[in-house]
Structure 1
Amino acid sequence: MSRILRTSHILAWLFLTGTSLAAILIASFYLYLRPGLPSVEQLTDIKLQTPLRVYSADNRLIAEFGEKRRAPITIEQIPTIQLHAYLAAEDANFYEHVGVDFKGLLRAAIELVTTGHIQSGGSTITMQVAKNYFLSRDRTFIRKFNEILLAIQIERELEKNQILELYLNKIYLGNRAYGIQAAAQVYYNRDVSELSLAQMAMLAGLPKAPSAFNPLANPERALIRRNWILGRMKELGYINDDAYRLASAAPLTAQYNAPDTQVDADYVAEMARADMVQRFGEAAYTDGYSVTLTVNSRNQQAATTALRHGIEAYDYRHGFRGAIGRITELQRPEDELVRELNIYPRIEELYPAVVQTVSDENNNVELLARSLGNVQLNMADMTWAREHRTENYMGPEPQKPSDVLSAGDVVYVTPKQIETNSEPDTADEQENAGQPPRASQVILAQLPNVQGALISLNAKSGAIEALAGGYSFSQSKYNRAIQASRQPGSTFKPFLYLAALERGLTPATVFNDAPIVFDDSELETAWRPENSSGQFYGPTRLREALYRSRNLVSIRLLRDIGLQHTFNYIEALGIPTDNMQRDLSLALGSGLLTPMDVARGFAVIANGGYDVQPYLIQEIRDSNNQVVYEAPSVILCERRCQLDEFPPSAGDAANIRTARRLADERSVYLLHSMLRDVVRRGTGRRALALGRNDIGGKTGTTNEQRDTWFSGFNHDMATTAWIGFDQPNPLGRSEYGATTALPVWLEYMTIALEGKPAAFMPQPNGLVSVRIDPTTGQRARPGQEGAIFEMFKEENAPAPLAPTANTNGNGLGTDGDDATSLPQELF
């Protein structure tokens, strides 16, 4: 007995010694590691790596930038049953333990010793929070000990629901999804509150191994994991037997869902991204900023679509350039052919397809198209495909399919639109909404070589209402709207005419539209400018010269008012002159401006002569939804305006931009009238299709039709469209601003102005209307046939006619008005 007692004492001492040594060791580890542990307070201030999101003015998602997809969510927004699914899968005792499950750790240690690897795991949710937020993923004992200490610390300082919320927003769940809300959107395109029980259990199975249990990569293992979690939920009393049976029998419905962008505005999105990086550096991608732009989604989509349509229309007018490739061996499985088609990119609605059979008898072609499958192309949908030879010449119209295509040709096709007013109502139709169309009928297409841009500005504030920088951002990220410096051609003339009106000339001033030759030392050879028609029309009033776009009149006008004065004036308007030649070719728009420069200049004209500063970002909010930037309100004012002139309702004085006057309002009003004539009776007549009388504008076409433009406006909005090649080349003899750019502008403005009332510039004081002789521009004689009314500044109105010898005593001629006209100098 004494021996047993002695043995017991020895064992007791050994146990106490071991326990003491363990306690000393643990205490030593704690004292050694504790100074290096982060403060738990950092958890409440930590910024989750949330991507940058860009929204339209009407709150539609345009783009998302960032490596990680994350959408932070509060625990109150998560259904209780979803919380139970994660607890069942990861930590059933979460609400009982102190941050560490010692039984679980011991079980994991025994598994490691006996089997060489851990099967059940020993980390609690709190320990995972400690690891995910503060520690590396190194599998070392030091890291594990730090994890235990941090978990205990976290439990002492945070509530359980706070810890669970941090966990559910941080965990990685595969496919770039971080956090439960992002995962719900990635796998099911729904908010977490809209998921079924089976879908909730599927998401709960991902933290353990986001790749191994991923329903997209390993559907069988994911299904096993999901059903195990459902079983655990039943064991723990979270769900009943019926719910378990229904959920475990549910099929897998997960599929990858890219960010659900709602507006086709890649060029705008890139502008916003670049601006945000300039403001916040790399933190722009991770700190959860949301940016609201000035563009309206409807207008923006209209701009993108109109530009594509205009570019495609030009491209089809100039014929088919042939197949983009060849596949010689067609007798292969479809999946092999599709893999070979993958080397050809899909661009917007253009799908690469290989021709399999060509049937002249049936007048059709059978193709295999990437993403579309087996499709058919009828002869009626390729009659446009005349052989392209040059910009001015095409081959004959094809009569049969073999005139255009051969078996093995790789070409682009686009799905043929089938008119339907029905909404998808079956489950399959709803699930396939937004997926590539399974079209049986297609149209022959090709990737255009020509490019273009469209910019629409709010004329009073400068807000960008829509912008398209090219045919496709995926094809070319070069933003022609703001980066392409091109010759504006005759769209420059309104700025020259405005300078002339400010100089005292009038819409009735007459210049001679006659041949002229310049031997200028600054020009390499003698310059013989011509009108686009090649004809000359003699004495022409400025109003008519502008709406008929007479080049010779513009050159004489520039010479009359002076090069230096004109340069000074257009610089004062805010139009850049760095890339403009200092010679008379300036009158024809020989300088270089971007489409944005031109649009901004027309916005100054549209709003009545006030400075315009285009801007895109309306508001920036941080991850806490606090406004960190808001675009200033814009107030139009005269040159000497002061902020104290405006009442408090005008807004916070610290966030106001005053737009000063750059041009005399009377001159601008006269120019409005002249530019409306461009639409009513001149080169811009196609714009009459809008059915509005408040539209003015100007076409522009440069030498050899290398650049074509149309800029049009009313008092509220200014929009510019440009069409041309990236490397300036002729567009073709029959291509002008009115045939290429104006249709783009018209399609866009039809949408942008729909339902909006007419917007005219109010007529300022100091203007008079006078009947004039349309030939001389002088005051008309009484009763003169063909006389017209013209508007003048009071001080520039034509002088009354001198009385004739035969007077009636009141100083007037016998016809009751001025009877003679003054001679008109022509130059």
Structure 2
Amino acid sequence: MTKVLPRWLLNFVSLAVFAICGFFWGAASLYLYLSPDLPDPASLKDVQLQTPMRVLSRDGALIAQFGEQKRTPLSFDEIPKPFIHALLSAEDDNFFNHNGIDLMGLARAVSELVVTGQKGSGGSTLTMQVARNYFLTLDRTFMRKLNEIVLAIEIERALSKQEIFELYVNRVFLGHRAYGFEAAAEVYYGQSIQNLSLAEWALLAGIPKAPSRDNPVSDPQAAKERRNWILSRMASLGYITEAEANSAQSAPVNARLHSAQSELRADYVAELVRAEMVERYGSGAYTDGYVVYTTVVSELQRAARSAVILGLQEYDSRHGYRGAESELAGDPDLDRDSWRETIRQIPTIADMIPAAVVAIEERSIEVLLGDGSIVTIDWERGLRQANPYINEDLFGQAPKRASDVVLLGDVIRVEQRPSGRYALTQLPKAQAALVSLESETGRIQSLVGGIGFSKSKFNRATQAKRQPGSSFKPFIYAAALNSGLTAATLVNDAPKVFKDASLEDIWRPENDSGKFYGPTRLRQALTQSLNLVSIRILEQMGVRSMLDYAQTLGFDTEAFAPDLSLALGTHAMPPLELAKAYAILANGGFAVTPFIIERIENSDGDTVFEANPALGCDPCVDLPESRSELSMTEVLSGRQTPIKAPRVMDERIHFIIDNMLKDVVRYGTARKALVLNRSDLAGKTGTTNGPRDAWFSGYSPKIVTTAWVGFDDFSNLGAREYSGTAALPIWINYMREALAEMPEYSRRIPAGIVRATIDTNTGLLAQPGQANTMDEYFRAENTPTRSSAEVGAESQELLLDVF
């Protein structure tokens, strides 16, 4: 007999069926209503994450990152499995099974929102969070949640689970400007996420819940509690054992803020690149994930930085100890914590570390470092040598005890020696710059714009316009050879009063030594850097002729004073411009253009720019001089055919000037460079009045380097300071490293050069068996045809009168 169901039960079942149908009908209607106006989830396949620009050396060492958001995208295969498990345990343990929404969790979240008007428990799956992070606002509204649900369903249809997981891992904000978990690992632990421990993975997985408040730096305790809960969840879900969970839960929270792990200190290079990238790509330079390979070579950049720091420290030590940077009030024991915090806030500059004096003995001191450690400075490590500074030309008596040098509470600088011991030092007030080019291409292989970017962002290598002094003389002499003079031409090095409307009413130039040497061959004059000879040959050539020649060489002559002071290098220019000109002397007479960016890659690793410098070298003569279009082969292969740099100096003039500049190293003002034990070095010192500027520009055929030392406010360097004492040692220390693996090169003698034996007293041909002779190089058309015996005294006097 058929049993009849009670009416109330039938009514309940009918109502339930009706409610369920109504729910699905409503959900479908809502889906159809909302979906047309929502973004296309398929666009996530091509999403461009904001990724900072990375600046690398030519050999791939990280120099700097630029961008507001710190992000390093990961592929799914690069994400460690234990971290995947930790994140699923924290956020969405059913992620790989659901279709984008968790109905039970969602129902709980919706009911709490309806009842309390506030968002309580979760309910958002990883897919819903992806929808929110990429497409929606963070407003906590019912409509936004509905849009999130619909988008999550659509995303699950358009993308694989692995793609969705990648999107979440790379986009989520994790505090302290870190976006994505790889960036968070670098920010909090200073290493890749692949190298972290289970405890660290779990801690990172817990940050998304409250990234600004509960990250391990802002609130270590809250981060630890969240981490331990996640570890327990991982154990309950079977991802790890209880023993592994307990072990990880006992681990301390050792996270702290880490900056991008720069592998190469080249801040001035980084700033040059940043400015050029912004000029090329605008604000997208900071967000589009460009990777910029510079022309800088890591080994050479390190050598350049070390040479500049050492050179300035040695200069500074010759002028005395200026005392403490500041003084701390209080007691070194009672106020230890506040002193440490003060010291910690002072930046380390050029490896010179701030410290506070906390104890003074007869012949030693103890100092407090920013990390809280106490180190001892012994008498022989800077204290004994700390004669008090009086001025740039005078320092006081040597100290007899440590208290003659420092007082308790003094804020000083120390440096750690290779032995591990610390020594007293001080921040030099003088500045320096060094720039080194590959002479045949113009590649900037190293560049230092000052002792420390954190102390001064002004780039003295590219921005400081300083008088080059005698460093400019080689180009005066090249112009003289071009006008028909020779390396053997006699010029009278004697006092002369010049009347020039563009100069002072009366100008009485002198040589640096204060001496005059009478009739002097041009080779001797350049070797000894005689000012009067340079002025006389410029007077004979004409200033206008010299300006035209300098412009041919690539100098910006707009700011050059059109007067005889040009012979002494009184026109200002940055070190890079002088290095560019010396590259002409190094490479055989070709004009190359310095550049800093070797290659640019986009976020996909595709090369979007690659430098194709014009080559300046004798073997390059068969290359085209310019390119107006690329061949189809070049377009398809991505390779560019090199082009030849223009020749701007006659190869015979170049050969003679180069040979004369080698004598500056062998016998002249740059003799200290002989310590490098090479025969292919050439260059010229330069010291300006004061002296205010000290220069050395020199080269071997493949590399050219300019070093400069001076004060930003144009103060005098000191009466005993010259280019040979201040700038040349920097150049030597750098080139010792730069030339270590480079073979010596010898110049071939170009066609049209004649080698003749001359009388060193007259510059004319020597008689057979005559004493005081030497071999000299001439252009064939300028070779002397007569000997001094054939030229009477009258003609010799006439020659000296002309000059």
Bucket of the pairwise TM-score, normalised by the shorter protein: over 0.9
Asked if 1:328 is matched to 2:314, the reply is no
Equivalence map 1:337-348=2 (5 Å)? 337-341=339-343, 344-348=346-350
Tell me how far apart the structure 1 counterparts of residues 543 and 12 of structure 2 sit (CA, whole Å).
108
Q: Which of 515, 522, 529 is 1:542 aligned to?
A: 522
Q: Secondary structure at the match of 1:482?
A: coil
CA distance in 2, matches of 1:53, 1:283: 13
Map of 2:706 onto structure 1: 720
Describe how 1:172-211 pairs up with structure 2 within 5 A. 172-211=173-212
| Aligned twin of 1:47 | 48
CA contact (8 A) 2:309 2:350 kept: no
Distance in 2 of aligned mates of 1:747 and 1:393? 27
What does the per-residue CA deviation read over 1:309-358, in whole Å, with 9 as the maximum and x for residues that have no partner?
Answer: 11121112111222222223225231122234456443232233333343
Q: Which residue of 1 aligns with 2:474?
A: 494
* Distance change (3 Å), C-alpha of 1:112 and 1:640: closer
Say whether residues 1:401 and 2:402 are aligned partners. Answer: yes
Contact 1:781–1:821 at 8 Å: present in 2 too? no
Q: Could you give the per-residue CA deviations for residues 47-77 of structure 1, whole angstroms, max 9, x where no partner exists?
A: 1111110110111101111122211111112
User: How far off its partner does 1:404 sit?
Assistant: 2.0
Q: Percent identity?
A: 46
**Could you say what secondary structure the match of 1:68 adopts?**
coil
Conserved? CA contact 2:358–2:409, under 8 Å:
yes
**Correspondence 1:595-606 to 2 at 5 A:** 595-606=575-586
Contact conserved, 1:701 with 1:708, CA < 8 A, in 2?
Answer: yes
Residues 452-510 of structure 1 deviation map (CA, whole Å, 9 limit, x = unaligned): 11000000000000000001000000001000011000000011111111222111111
User: 2:36 maps to what in 1?
Assistant: 35
Aligned to 2:378: 378
Q: Which residue identity lines up with residue 774 of structure 1 in the other structure?
A: T
Structure 1 residue 396 displacement after superposition:
1.7
Counterpart for residue 413 of structure 2: 412
Give me the whole-angstrom Cα distance separating, in 1, the residues matched to 2:451 and 2:627: 47
Change in Cα spacing, 1:801 to 1:366, as seen in structure 2 (3 Å) is closer
Match of 1:662 in 2: 648
**Deviation per CA, 1:269-307, whole angstroms, max 9, x where unpaired?**
111111111111111111111000011001001111111
Question: Quick check: 1:351–1:371 contact (8 Å CA) kept in 2?
Answer: no
Match of 1:470 in 2: 450
Query: Equivalences for 1:260-659 in 2 at 5 Å?
Result: 260-330=261-331, 332-341=334-343, 344-359=346-361, 362-371=362-371, 373-380=373-380, 381-418=382-419, 442-636=422-616, 641-642=624-625, 656-659=642-645
**Which amino acid counterpart does residue 339 of structure 2 have in structure 1?**
L
Asked if the contact 2:686/2:696 (under 8 Å) is kept, the reply is yes
Is the CA contact (8 Å cut-off) linking 1:802 and 1:820 kept in structure 2?
no
Question: Cα offset for 1:29?
Answer: 4.4
- Tell me, yes or no, if the aligned pair for 1:778 and 1:821 is still in contact at 8 Å: no
Once the two structures are overlaid, the 10-residue window that deviates more, 88-97 or 671-680, is 88-97
Instruction: Check the 8 A contact 1:670/1:791 in 2, yes or no.
Output: yes
Spell out, residue by residue over 1:99-125, the C-alpha distance to the aligned partner (whole angstroms, 9 max, x if none): 011111012234445677555400001
Q: Within 1, Cα distance between the matches of 2:27 and 2:715?
A: 79
- Residues 450 and 624 of structure 1, relative CA distance in 2, 3 Å threshold: same
Indicate conservation of the 8 Å contact 1:639/1:661, yes or no.
Answer: no
In structure 1, what is the Cα distance between the partners aligned to 2:531 and 2:314? 28
The C-alpha deviation readout for 1:613-669, integer Å capped at 9, x for no partner, is: 000000000000000000014334569955699999999785644311011001001
TM alignment of 1:111-260, pairs within 5 A:
111-112=112-113, 118-260=119-261
Residue 184 of structure 1 deviates from its aligned partner by 2.5
Residues 670 and 821 (structure 1 numbering): CA distance in 2 closer, same or farther, change over 3 Å? farther
1:773 aligns with 2:775: no
Give the alignment's Cα RMSD to 1 decimal: 2.8
Pick one of 704, 729, 732 that aligns with 2:690. 704
Go from structure 1 to structure 2 and tell me whether the alpha carbon gap of 1:356 and 1:188 turns closer, same or farther (over 3 Å shift): closer
Distance 2:120 2:639 in 1: 65
- Are the equivalent residues in 1 in contact too, given 2:347–2:454 (CA < 8 A)? no
Deviations 1:160-211 (A, max 9, x none): 1111111111122233222222223233333333333332222222222224
The answer to whether the Cα contact below 8 Å between 1:769 and 1:791 also exists between their aligned partners in 2 is yes
Aligned to 2:657: 671
- Conserved? CA contact 2:303–2:734, under 8 Å: yes
Distance 1:417 1:635, change over 3 A: closer
CA offsets 1:404-436 (integer angstroms, 9 cap, x no match): 2222332222234416xxxxxxxxxxxxxxxxx
Q: How does 1:46-85 map to 2 (within 5 A)?
A: 46-85=47-86
Contact 1:365 1:376 in 2 (8 A): yes
Amino acid at match of 1:348: A
Distance, in Å, in 1 between the alignment partners of 2:544 and 2:623 is 26
CA distance in 2, matches of 1:660, 1:454: 26
State the distance in 2 between where 1:560 and 1:544 align: 18
Deviation of residue 549 (structure 1)? 0.1
Q: Give distance in 2, aligned partners of 1:34 and 1:655.
A: 53
- Please state how far the C-alpha of 1:15 moved relative to its aligned partner: 5.5
Matched-pair contact (CA < 8 Å) for 2:290–2:600:
yes
Q: Give the 3 Å change call, closer, same or farther, for CA 776–653 of structure 1 in structure 2.
A: farther
Matches of 1:680 and 1:822 in 2, distance apart? 33
CA distance 1:371–1:192, shift in 2 (3 Å): closer
- 1:212-252 per-position Cα deviation (integer Å, ceiling 9, x unaligned): 54233333333332232222222222234454444344444
Contact 1:66 1:286 in 2 (8 A): yes
Q: For structure 2, which runs of at least 5 residues remain unmatched after alignment?
A: none
Distance 2:623 2:452 in 1: 45
1:164 aligned partner, one-letter code: F
For the residues of structure 1 that align with 2:761 and 2:102, how far apart are their CA atoms?
100
- Residues 386/505 of structure 1: CA separation in 2 closer, same or farther (3 Å cut): same
Amino acid paired to 1:690: L
Query: Residue 60 and residue 821 in structure 1: after superposition, are their counterparts in 2 closer, same or farther (change >3 A)?
Result: farther
Report the AA paired with residue 175 of structure 2. G
**Equivalent-residue separation in structure 2 for 1:627 and 1:546 (angstroms):** 47
Q: 1:608 to 1:9 in 2, by over 3 A?
A: same
* CA drift at 1:444: 2.3
Report the counterpart of residue 779 of structure 2 in structure 1.
793
Answer whether contact 1:780 1:821 (CA < 8 A) is retained.
no
CA contact (8 A) 1:267 1:477 kept: yes
Total equivalences in the alignment: 790
Task: State the shift of 1:579 in Å.
Answer: 1.7
User: Aligned to 2:175, what secondary structure does the other structure show?
Assistant: coil
Secondary structure, counterpart of 2:551 in structure 1 = helix
Deviations for 1:359-402, whole angstroms, at most 9, x for unmatched residues?
Answer: 3xx32223323335323333332233222222212222222222
Give SS of 2:391's match: coil
Residues 625 and 645, structure 2, Cα contact 8 Å, conserved in 1: no
Question: Following TM superposition, by how much is the alpha carbon of 1:142 offset from its aligned partner in structure 2, in angstroms?
Answer: 1.5
Conserved in 1, the CA contact under 8 Å of 2:684 and 2:696?
yes
CA distance in 2, matches of 1:235, 1:367: 52
Q: Deviations over 1:563-605 (max 9, x none)?
A: 1111000101001112211100100001111101100000011
